[in-house]
Amino acid sequence: MYFDALTLAAVTDELQTTILGGRIQRALLPSPLSVALEIYAQGHRWHLLMSAHPQFTRIHLSSAKPSRGVERETPLLLLLRKYVVGGRIVQIEQPAIERVVVLRIAKGPATRDPSASPADDEQLLPADDQAQTELASLPAAASDEPDEPLLCDIVVEVFERRGNVILVGDDNIIMESLRHVTPRMSRRPVQPREPYELPPAQDKRDPRHATAEGIHALLESGERDLARALVAAYRGISPQAAREAAFRSTGRADSALAPDLPWAAIAAAVRELWTPPWQPCLAYNAAETPAFAAYPLHHFARFEPQPSISAVLETFYAAREQLTSHQQRRDTLHGQLLEARERLDRQRRLLSEELERAQSLDQLRWEGEMIYGFLHAITPGQTELVIEDRRITLDPQHTPIENAQERFHAYDKFKSALAGVPERLQSVVARLAGLDETLALLDLAEGFEQIEGIAREAIELGYIREERSGRKRPKVRRQPPLRVDSSDGYSIYIGRSAGQNEQVTFTIGASDDLWLHARGLPGAHVIIKSGGREVPERTLYEAAALAAHFSKGRGEASVEVEISRRRLVRRVPGGPIGLVTYRAERAMRVTPQAPIAGVRGQGSGIRSDSA
């Protein structure tokens, strides 16, 4: 589905008629990749959602009040509170035919409405207790208006996989963003203290000025399909918009590019798409797959007009990126685990550097021994000693004995400091592996109870700290491992957390049972209960497909899964629960497959059940 420049043009027009001139009362992060603003404008309270989700990047008004999904105060959130909260939106613009919208924010005395009475101004303060509490907790710099107005821009870039929300200062320097883009990642970096640059404009024609001659020239493009030719030639035209223009002018969405097409009608249809008033709609094809647009989608089986483009987007994305409590909980937990991983990785790097320093210990000891051994050959004031083409620097201000003693003293000091470093490094590496496993299983969790179970284990393992927010934590029962029945009637057990992996492998699994795990990828431990019987190849394939599905390779076309006897699996000494070493007996490459609930299939069918 396409959040194209046409959709953004409709959203921009809607924002200009609703929140332009409004006062921003609150900023929060519903998820690590989204920002929400509460805005008071025209006597109404509006909620603006801006998301940089890789698949669902967007900006629109939300009818529901977004809730906070990121508990920690990120640099972006703190800067939004300082430069944006309390300010007014003085300008909203979309650079011509670009998927970028810029909200200009002014905060300070100059932005106050001189005609507003004290009573009117009080109406602009948050009315709910939670918002009042948040404002009261802000530092003075974030809530006090400065002597001079503060100007900044919120830039929302609506690109698939590269969407972003960027806070830019009045000097055009990036202050912070939801996603950082380094020079290694792109020729157009997006990171603090870098100047902001608009995405480079495409070298294509303006669809608002499409002409019959310009459309006729598409015959020379080499394209065979009219819609594809329109996408290639005109800026801001998505494949869906191109198919709609083709359908309106030729009666077919898949019209071939031929010499006898009605060129003037095609040009008019392209221009019409960009001509307000907007007519937002939700559309459905024969398979009832939904789509949206800022104009009627006549080439779909049916379409339903909607009151606003924001209503369309909110309905469409509600089923795809739900900012519900469990989704927010997943995102919050994911952010906390990533922070823990960064800390552990920093420890690993420091310990690795300490081990590298150990290589200099032998050099220090050798130098001290050589100085002692050649005391007779060292003269007062000598600055170096050469032994077998190796040079030892000497301090002429000290005696040869003092030079040697300095080497031995440094050697003893470094040796004491490095005591236990290899063991600590091994422990940190094991915790990193366990944390990667937890992160992968969190991404695969399919419900609030699974997410909370992983959160509880992460706290017990010391990856994160338990939040002390004063609110009662929901009671969640500990879930057992997933059990499915193979087509041949064998029970297959799947761990969906570190604790369940431990249970599946070392409690449920017997020594002769088969144990499976995706090769080189964090994921579930899988056990086939064989009861001493030979396991059919079909059951092996089904269990391997499940192991691939419940691993970080779920989205891959194929995953290599290793198979071992349970007795060949060992816990990692001193490592976190669920972390093991094993010796594989064989491997097979399979396509990841989810369990089929309540159905006993044939071939690769598997029936899901509870343990």
Instruction: Please state the three-class secondary structure of 35-69 as a single string.
Output: EEEEEEECCEEEEEEEECCCCCCEEEEECCCCCCC
Side by side, the strands of the sheet bearing 586-590 are 586-590, 559-565, 514-518, 526-529, 491-494, 482-485, 607-610, 596-597
Per-residue tokens: 9: 């043009």
CATH code of 5-177, in short, is 2.30.310.10
Give me the phi and psi of 93, to 5 degrees please. -145, 155
Packing angle of the helix pair 400-417, 359-373 (nearest 10 deg): 160
Q: What is the tens place of the pLDDT at every residue in 374-391? A: 888 888 889 888 888 888
Per-residue tokens: 275: 């001509």
Specify the pLDDT at position 559: 93
* Location of structure tokens 């802000």: 138
Q: What is the CA radius of gyration of the chain?
A: 32
Q: Compute the distance between CA of residue 60 and CA of residue 9 in angstroms, rounded to an integer.
A: 11
Side by side, the strands of the sheet bearing 281-284 are 290-293, 281-284, 302-305
Q: For the chain (length 611 residues), average pLDDT per consecutive 10?
A: 88 96 92 92 94 89 80 88 94 93 87 39 39 40 56 93 93 95 89 93 92 94 92 93 95 93 96 94 82 94 93 84 59 87 90 74 82 87 87 89 87 73 85 89 77 87 72 60 93 93 94 94 94 92 94 88 95 87 92 65 42 41
Specify the pLDDT at position 245: 96
Give me the phi and psi of 389, to 5 degrees please. 65, 10
* Location of structure tokens 């691939």: 548
Quick one: how far is CA 521 from the chain centroid? 19
Specify the pLDDT at position 352: 84
Handedness of CA 580, 581, 584, 588 (dihedral sign): positive
Specify the pLDDT at position 125: 38
Handedness of CA 238, 244, 249, 254 (dihedral sign): positive
Widest Cα–Cα separation across the chain: 103
* Location of structure tokens 């043009």: 9
Q: Compute the distance between CA of residue 307 and CA of residue 2 in angstroms, rounded to an integer.
A: 20
Specify the pLDDT at position 360: 66
Task: Report strand pairing: 281-284 vs 174-177.
Answer: unpaired
Task: Report strand pairing: 580-582 vs 559-565.
Answer: unpaired
Q: Compute the distance between CA of residue 493 and CA of residue 506 in angstroms, rounded to an integer.
A: 12
Q: Compute the distance between CA of residue 72 and CA of residue 29 in angstroms, rounded to an integer.
A: 10
- Cβ atoms of 574 and 430 within 8 Å: the answer is yes
Domain ranges of the chain: 5-177, 207-318, 359-417, 482-610
Question: Shortest CA distance to 549 belongs to which of 484, 467, 453?
Answer: 484
H helices, E strands: number in the chain:
17, 24
Question: Shortest CA distance to 152 belongs to which of 252, 85, 73?
Answer: 85
The structure's pTM equals 0.53
Query: What one-character DSSP code corresponds to residue 201?
Result: P
Tell me the three state secondary structure of residue 485.
Answer: strand
Tell me the three state secondary structure of residue 9.
Answer: helix
- Cβ atoms of 379 and 443 within 8 Å: the answer is no
Q: What is the tens place of the pLDDT at every residue in 191-247? A: 999 999 999 888 899 999 999 999 999 999 889 999 999 999 999 999 999 999 999
Specify the pLDDT at position 321: 58
Q: Compute the distance between CA of residue 548 and CA of residue 511 in angstroms, rounded to an integer.
A: 23
Per-residue tokens: 402: 């003092």
Handedness of CA 64, 316, 449, 37 (dihedral sign): negative
Specify the pLDDT at position 131: 40
Specify the pLDDT at position 476: 52
Query: What one-character DSSP code corresponds to residue 528?
Result: E
Give me the phi and psi of 327, to 5 degrees please. -70, -45
Tell me the three state secondary structure of residue 374.
Answer: coil
Question: Shortest CA distance to 7 belongs to which of 65, 63, 57, 64?
Answer: 57
Specify the pLDDT at position 117: 35
DSSP assignment string, 552-593 = TTTTSS-EEEEEEEGGGEEEPTTPPTT-EEE--SEEEEE---
Give me the phi and psi of 280, to 5 degrees please. -60, 145
Phi-psi region of 569 (alpha: psi -120 to 50; beta: other; left: phi over 0): beta
Specify the pLDDT at position 408: 87
Specify the pLDDT at position 320: 66
What single-letter amino acid sits at 437? E
Query: What one-character DSSP code corresponds to residue 205?
Result: B
Give me the phi and psi of 184, to 5 degrees please. -70, -30
- The three-point CA angle 594-526-503 to 5° equals 125
What single-letter amino acid sits at 431? R
Quick one: how far is CA 522 from the chain centroid? 18
